[in-house]
Each structure stands twice: as structure tokens, then as C-alpha cells.
Amino acid sequence: MFKAILAVFYFLAFAFCIDLVFRHTLSAITDILAIVCWFIAAIASVALAIHTEKRIRGRQDR
């Protein structure tokens, strides 16, 4: 459950940044690039959530 919360948090942070970059573009190429960035952000947010949970659990075990 903790990983899911972290993944959503990271994804929202990435989504905010993607929106800032592609906010006022009207080209088909930039729309496709924005969609690709959303998929990359989804994968990166899950990876960061897993890494963050491992780091937090590792510090608690000490």
C-alpha cells in the first residue's frame, strides 16, 4: 500500500512537470511526445516508489 501511495505522489509530480512543458503546444508531434512522457513518468514513478520504500525500510532496520 505504501508503494502505491508513493507511486501516485511521484506520478503527480511528474505530471505537473510534463504539463508545464507541454501546456501551450498545438503540434501533433508535441502531443505524441507528451504521451510518451506520460508513459515514461508512469514507469519512473513506480521505480522510484520501490527504491524509496527500500531505502525507508533499510533505515528502519538499523
Domain count, the chain: 1
Residue 36: domain span: 2-61
Amino acid identity for residue 29 in this structure: I
Distances (CA, A) of 21 to 7, 8, 15, 30: 21, 20, 10, 10
**Following CA atoms 20, 22, 24, 28 in sequence, which dihedral angle do they give, to the nearest 10 degrees?**
-170
Residue 23 — φ and ψ, nearest 5°?
Answer: -70, -50
Residue 25's pLDDT is: 84
**What is the average pLDDT value for the chain, to the nearest integer?**
91
Whole-structure pTM value: 0.80
Residue 14's pLDDT is: 94
Residue 10's pLDDT is: 95
Q: How far apart are CA 39 and CA 41, in angstroms?
A: 5
Q: Per-residue pLDDT tens for 24-53?
A: 888 899 999 999 999 999 999 999 999 999
